[in-house]
Structure 1
């Protein structure tokens, strides 16, 4: 799926729609770049930090889950750090790009429903996600998610360039 960049001049009904458009754009751009990589590159790392493209996809799914479900909604989450093992990102041998892509898109649909159905100034529920701090507003959480996606989409741009995959926006 390809989504055009959400130009700042395109009218939006409200701020939530702006957040959703940008999150959708970055999520789908990242997924399309990962999908275009050679299969051998999905579980390999080109970077000193050692993360792989599949690990990045899984990480972003869990980032959204931690911030929206566990944080903002205060929902119980059995393993909020399920994208990590031994203090680094982890993907099991049975996890596939197709599975991780479907999980990330489903998480994105949940984020979209929350963003469209909740006032942006609504404050998250107190809970373990906040580690004793006051919960953040939905607007702050969506802004955080947006910067997380923009940063990691830039990271996958670099990996794609190193592997001969697609580059640019």
Structure 2
């Protein structure tokens, strides 16, 4: 009797059973790394001023987003699982001012914060590699009745958070100099020119005005 159609076989006709179970940890870890890389790439080619300046009423800025994500990575994939990195984060101290982790002071160099981000990523990756997906930890800053978590839940939570901040960085970078796209070499955008984008934006403006009954 032959091998079922589409099922690979080894020499001699032995059927190779292919696993259909997804590797949840590997999938989540890949998405986390991609979101992290997308965020850091938004600093490429910007001036010192543009890396730091606030572009929204609540102060959102590129280097602050990198500083914040570096901090949360060390927390969720460090302290939560009893693997502290030993990195001093004074902006996370109890007596720190609000939002101290969301912007860079003049004394905090861009190079220092990018290096911290890379170290936090390496520490996070080591934690993911070392633990099974159902490993249990505790998030110290979450309420006690729900602070027990698995590595799976932390990877979902952290991937969502980093992706959200990478989206913030997309918009901020576009406001800085018009640079857009996911990351090189795949920017995930249509292959069109500046004139197309200008016409596209005008079309959206007209559609919005028509829908709202607003005169041009």
Farther off after superposition, 21-30 or 145-154: 21-30
**Shift >3 Å, 4+ stretches:** 74-81, 127-131
Task: From 146, 162, 174, give the equivalent of 1:161.
Answer: 174
Q: Given the alignment of the two structures, is residue 18 of structure 1 paired with residue 31 of structure 2, yes or no?
A: no
Farther off after superposition, 92-101 or 41-50: 92-101
Q: CA deviation at 1:61?
A: 0.6
Residues of 2 paired with 1:123 and 1:80: CA distance? 24
Q: Given the alignment of the two structures, is residue 129 of structure 1 paired with residue 138 of structure 2, yes or no?
A: no
Give the TM-score taking structure 2 as reference length.
0.64
After superposition, the CA RMSD in angstroms is 2.7
Name the structure, 1 or 2, with higher relative contact order (CA <8 Å, separation 6+): 1
Give the TM-score taking structure 1 as reference length.
0.80
Q: What's the secondary structure of 2:60's corresponding residue?
A: coil
Task: From 18, 36, 47, give the equivalent of 1:27.
Answer: 36
Considering only CA atoms, is the larger Rg found in Structure 1 or Structure 2?
2
Q: Given the alignment of the two structures, is residue 96 of structure 1 paired with residue 109 of structure 2, yes or no?
A: yes
Residue 63 (structure 2) aligns with:
54
CA contact (8 A) 1:34 1:53 kept: yes
* Cα shift readout 1:100-157 (whole Å, capped 9, x = no counterpart): 11111111111111111211111104x7334423411111001111001111111011
* Cα shift readout 1:9-61 (whole Å, capped 9, x = no counterpart): xxxx8322222222221111111112232332112111011132111111001
Runs (5+) with no aligned partner, structure 2: 1-21, 183-216
CA contact (8 A) 1:33 1:157 kept: yes
Q: CA deviation at 1:83?
A: 5.1
Residue 86 (structure 1) aligns with:
97
Residues of 1 paired with 2:71 and 2:137: CA distance? 17
